[in-house]
Amino acid sequence: MPRKVDAAIGKGLARITGGPVAPYQSAVIRIGFSLTWLAFLLREWVHRDELYGPDSPWSWSMARALIATNHAFTVLMWSDSRAWFEFVYAAAIAASVMLLVGWRTRTASLLFMIGVLALQNRSVFEGDGGDNVIHIMAIYLVFARCGQVWSLDARRARRSADRDRDRDWDRDRDRDPVGIVMWVVFAAVLALVTVLGKLSTGWALILWGFLAAQAAWWLVRRYAPGEPRTVMTMVGNVVHAGAMLVIVVEVCLIYSTAGWYKITGSRWEDGTALYYPLHLADFTPWPALSHALGSSGLIVMLITYGTVAVQVAFPFTLFNRRVKNVLLVMMMCEHAGIAVVLGLPFFSLAMITADSVFLPTSFLRWVGDRVVRALPGRRAVVPRQRSEGEPSASTLPV
């Protein structure tokens, strides 16, 4: 028995350190959360001033007074000018696009987090619940290597591997002038805001730490291709695995706490909770549909009790693949129904994205192959066998 335990532990450690775990799941949540936030920013473009800008009922001075007590991070507090707000809003859109397509994913994930925190912490009373999920996941994505598949970074790595197979392949690729310029500019801006005192001590340490880690990664890959590079790659894989584990635990906590709190509510206990939002004007984009559902006591009761049962049971089904997949489909359908019936598309899309972390890898690869084949003039990429000693795409710092 001890040998079996040791073998299992060794196999698990090798799996975690040998390469990024769940690359397809991390790519799905990268695409999903960036798409959700991008769609929200574009949808609210005409209302951006009232939501987060100078014309917001939650004024800049009120936001500054609140942030002085909760110490939230937002770059919008650096200036109350309209030009600065417009720049930050446009930068948040650009960072979302970068993360969506997986271009310079490490940089994009950091900029995406800064954009999300900047806007959401500026006006904390906006949103419908899905913003809280995006808020948390934006932080976790910084630590995940979410550009290993379905990204421009992955395509660039494949093309470089196919084109450059000589001895100096790594050194030629790691010159990366675009990436170097981006991080030099980031360092210059970070130094300026640090000198001006715009950052708290904690956030200054965090952002300078990210910059130092990126610089160390590049230096090791450029000048120490042996054991130091292997160690750095293993550390990156472990951090990525930790981030994915935290995301899984976070989703389980969301559902378990939501389910158990529902149990303590009287309307959920008597099976009538769904009836009330179906008759609220703010949550009835299709009044005829809402009233039709609300008029059936049986449907209201089944959906109410079913919601509680699925949310409470889901975390306990993770070790049973078939049951987990059934409940996963039920939860995604539930959120799709919420998007249509209650008019909460961004909340639903954020939750469906969070649920996607539990989708089977085989299913995600099947979907990816079908999407690629559907593109005009494209076909699914069949990975070739690498020769011994040739670097793989997983060595990219994405």
DSSP codes, 14-82: HHHHHS-SSHHHHHHHHHHHHHHHHHHHHHTGGGHHHHTSTT-SS-HHHHHHHHHHH----GGGG---H
Average pLDDT, the chain: 87
Residue 133 has pLDDT above 70, yes or no: yes
Which helix H or strand E contains 377, and what residues bound it? none
C-alpha 251/C-alpha 264 separation (Å) is 21
Using pLDDT thresholds of 50, 70 and 90, give the confidence band for residue 167: very low
Contact 262, 152 (CB under 8 A): no
Backbone angles phi, psi at 156, to 5 degrees: -65, -40
Residue 151 has pLDDT above 60, yes or no: yes
The two most distant CA atoms of the chain are separated, in Å, by 72
Query: Of 349 and 160, which is predicted with more confidence?
Result: 349
C-alpha 254/C-alpha 312 separation (Å) is 10
Residue 282 has pLDDT above 70, yes or no: yes
Give the pLDDT of residue 119: 96
Q: How much of the chain exceeds pLDDT 70, in percent?
A: 89
Query: Of 218 and 167, which is predicted with more confidence?
Result: 218
Residue 166 has pLDDT above 90, yes or no: no
What is the DSSP track for 44-59? TGGGHHHHTSTT-SS-
Residue 37 has pLDDT above 70, yes or no: yes
Backbone angles phi, psi at 272, to 5 degrees: -115, 5
Q: Which of 91-100, 202-211, 281-290, 387-396 has the lowest mean pLDDT?
A: 387-396
Section 18-38 average pLDDT? 95
Which helix H or strand E contains 173, and what residues bound it? helix 169-173
* Best CA proximity match to 92, nearest among 148, 145, 52, 132: 52
Task: Give the position of tokens 């014309």.
Answer: 55
Task: Give the position of tokens 């009538």.
Answer: 272
Which helix H or strand E contains 82, and what residues bound it? helix 82-101
Give the pLDDT of residue 380: 47
Residue 50 has pLDDT above 50, yes or no: yes
3-state secondary structure of 153: helix
Give the pLDDT of residue 322: 92
Give the pLDDT of residue 1: 57
Section 300-322 average pLDDT? 92
Residue 388 has pLDDT above 50, yes or no: no
Residue 125 has pLDDT above 90, yes or no: no
- Whole-angstrom CA distances from 248 to 33, 97, 140, 309, 350 are 15, 25, 11, 19, 14
Q: Encoding tokens for residue 27?
A: 């790519």
Section 98-103 average pLDDT? 96
- Enumerate the domain spans of the chain: 18-154+226-371
Give the pLDDT of residue 177: 82
Give the pLDDT of residue 4: 64
Give the pLDDT of residue 165: 56
Q: Encoding tokens for residue 370?
A: 């079908």
Query: Of 264 and 93, which is predicted with more confidence?
Result: 93
